[in-house]
């Protein structure tokens, strides 16, 4: 079903969340779009609001767009079992009213066993948004907690360890993959280790080769072990890893289709094939997205000569080799999570990012100088043509009046002379 809303058209799941390309033919895609178009525009809620939609199939997903012009109309998908296949489960929604927008991308955890589906996340209050990442964890089919997972990763060395290896760094590298379980790195020899999920008593990986100072990544976490002065690890050494997130909401009652609000973010979860199950997780990853266009504008400064008057924002912030927003987000998360390696990596990305922005500033400055020079040249040219036109067309009024007055005096003098000549003529005596 569909519900009309006053906003800009929404966007569905992010690019990396799209389902695999299906084998349907273009004709079948068209028929599906037509069927959805007919059903959507027959919805009473939509028609009573005086709205309509268009439905098309583009690439591998169904696209529903508002048929209303302007920024005051959009459509939000609120139900249906085909949302995952059509690319409308999860993702982030923005209003499109600004070139840069805060996003809250929602995704279901891979290991979920329940039937609940996630809608698009929305940032409704920019001032309350923290750029932190969150997890909704269901403690039963009807209750859930909201946890802030931008937090330090806790590590501890086994009390019976005989080797000299120690934890050098630990942090979160992918909040969407977090399970909030407790893990343990177990050394089966001085050069090999296994990663065990202690919460589920399962082995995630085994027979891994240990290299001092090399990152060990699993379940969205990263741990770096390094040899100490007493050497490397020994057989039987263990290292425990866990995440202690901050509780934002606890023991909340779940109602299918109702909004979950916290820290300026709103998320909607609803039943799909069934209700959520105990332990199901839904991640909310915040970020900042450039949603302006890449169009260029130019102004004519001479015959056949144009100068660009803008630089697309994506060139400066996202498409120039470094995603500035992602790097800043990485730095914030690393600082709050006490992740030294993450801080170093983020700073390493920001340095070329600053150079990237400086290069665009130089380009804008060069364009500004060129426009200033062209404006001065055009002003000089304008003055030359105005002077030429004045010399060609304008009249010196003082000189013209003087000349006309002299001509008038000359005519009057000639007239008097002729009058006297005729007065003395012989004809006057005849």
Closest C-alpha among 121, 46, 113 to residue 91: 121
Q: Are 226 and 165 in contact (CB under 8 A)?
A: yes
Q: Is the model's pLDDT at 27 over the cut of 60?
A: yes
Q: Is the pLDDT of residue 74 over 70?
A: no
- For 119, phi then psi, to 5°, come to -90, -175
Structure confidence at residue 375 (pLDDT): 82
The whole-number pLDDT of residue 3 equals 38
Q: How many CB atoms lie within 10 A of CB 35?
A: 11
Phi then psi dihedrals of residue 258, to 5 deg: -85, 155
Confidence of residue 104 (pLDDT cuts 50, 70, 90): very high
pLDDT at 6 over 50: no
Tell me what pLDDT residue 28 has: 74
Residue 7 scores a pLDDT above 90 = no
Classify the C-alpha dihedral 172-178-183-186 as positive or negative: negative
Number of H helices, E strands in the chain: 7, 24
Percent with pLDDT over 70 in the chain: 84
What is the band of 425 on the pLDDT scale with cuts at 50, 70, 90?
A: low
2: pLDDT strictly greater than 50: no
CA distance 361 to 53: 42
Q: Which of 27-41, 64-78, 294-308, 361-375 is predicted most confidently?
A: 361-375
Which pLDDT score, from 0 to 100, does residue 244 have?
87
Task: Write down the pLDDT at residue 20.
Answer: 46
Summarised one tens digit per residue, pLDDT across range 337-378 is 888 888 888 888 888 888 888 888 888 888 888 888 888 888
- Give per-residue pLDDT as tens, 218-267: 999 999 999 998 899 999 999 999 998 999 999 999 999 899 999 999 99
d(CA 12, CA 31): 21
- The pTM of this model reads 0.69
Whole-number pLDDT of residue 350: 84
Q: Which of 73-82, 181-190, 383-392 has the lowest mean pLDDT?
A: 73-82
Q: Hey, CA dihedral for 113, 118, 124, 127, is it positive or negative?
A: positive
Domain positions in the chain are: 1-89, 153-244, 298-375, 397-429
296, pLDDT greater than 80? no
Segment (H or E) for 112: none
Report the greatest alpha carbon distance in the chain.
Answer: 160
The more confidently predicted of residues 121 and 424 is: 121
Q: What is the pLDDT of residue 19?
A: 43
Gap between the Cα atoms of 321 and 319, Å rounded: 6
- Does 268 have pLDDT greater than 50? yes
Helix, strand or coil, per DSSP, at residue 267:
strand
Quick: pLDDT tens for 39-58: 888 888 777 877 888 888 77
């Amino acid at each position: 079903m569909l519900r009309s809303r006053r906003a800009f058209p929404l966007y569905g799941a992010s690019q990396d969340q799209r389902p695999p390309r299906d084998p349907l033919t273009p004709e079948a895609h068209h028929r599906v779009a037509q069927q959805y178009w007919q059903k959507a525009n027959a919805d009473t809620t939509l028609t009573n609001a005086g709205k309509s939609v268009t439905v098309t199939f583009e690439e591998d997903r169904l696209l529903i767009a508002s048929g209303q012009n302007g920024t005051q109309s959009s459509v939000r998908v609120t139900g249906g079992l085909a949302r995952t296949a059509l690319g409308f489960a999860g993702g982030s929604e923005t209003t499109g009213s600004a070139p840069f927008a805060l996003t809250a991308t929602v995704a279901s955890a891979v290991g979920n066993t329940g039937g609940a589906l996630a809608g698009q996340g929305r940032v409704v209050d920019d001032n309350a948004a923290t750029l932190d990442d969150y997890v909704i964890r269901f403690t039963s089919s009807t209750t859930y907690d909201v946890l802030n997972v931008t937090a330090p990763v806790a590590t501890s060395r086994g009390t019976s360890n005989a080797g000299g290896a120690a934890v050098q760094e630990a942090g979160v590298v992918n909040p969407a993959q977090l399970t909030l379980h407790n893990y343990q790195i177990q050394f089966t020899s001085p050069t090999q280790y296994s990663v065990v999920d202690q919460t589920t008593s399962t082995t995630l990986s085994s027979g891994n080769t240990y290299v001092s100072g090399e990152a060990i990544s699993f379940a969205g976490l990263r741990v770096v072990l390094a040899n100490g002065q007493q050497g490397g690890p020994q057989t039987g050494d263990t290292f425990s890893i866990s995440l202690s997130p901050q509780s934002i909401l606890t023991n909340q009652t779940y109602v299918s289709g109702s909004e979950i609000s916290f820290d300026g973010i709103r998320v909607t979860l609803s039943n799909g094939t069934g209700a959520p199950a105990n332990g199901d997780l839904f991640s909310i990853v915040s970020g900042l997205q450039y949603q302006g266009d890449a169009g260029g504008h130019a102004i004519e400064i001479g015959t056949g000569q144009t100068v660009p008057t803008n630089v697309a924002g994506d060139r400066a912030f996202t498409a120039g080799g470094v995603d500035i927003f992602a790097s800043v987000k990485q730095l914030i998360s690393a600082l709050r999570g006490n992740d030294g390696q993450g801080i170093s990596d983020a700073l390493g990305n920001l340095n070329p990012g600053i150079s990237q922005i400086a290069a665009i500033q130089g380009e804008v400055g060069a364009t500004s100088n060129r426009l200033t020079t062209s404006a001065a040249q055009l002003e000089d040219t304008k003055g030359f043509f105005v002077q030429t036109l004045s010399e060609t067309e304008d009249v010196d009024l003082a000189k013209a009046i003087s000349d006309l007055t002299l001509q008038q005096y000359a005519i009057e003098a000639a007239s008097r002379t002729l009058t006297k000549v005729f007065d003395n003529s012989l004809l006057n005596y005849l």
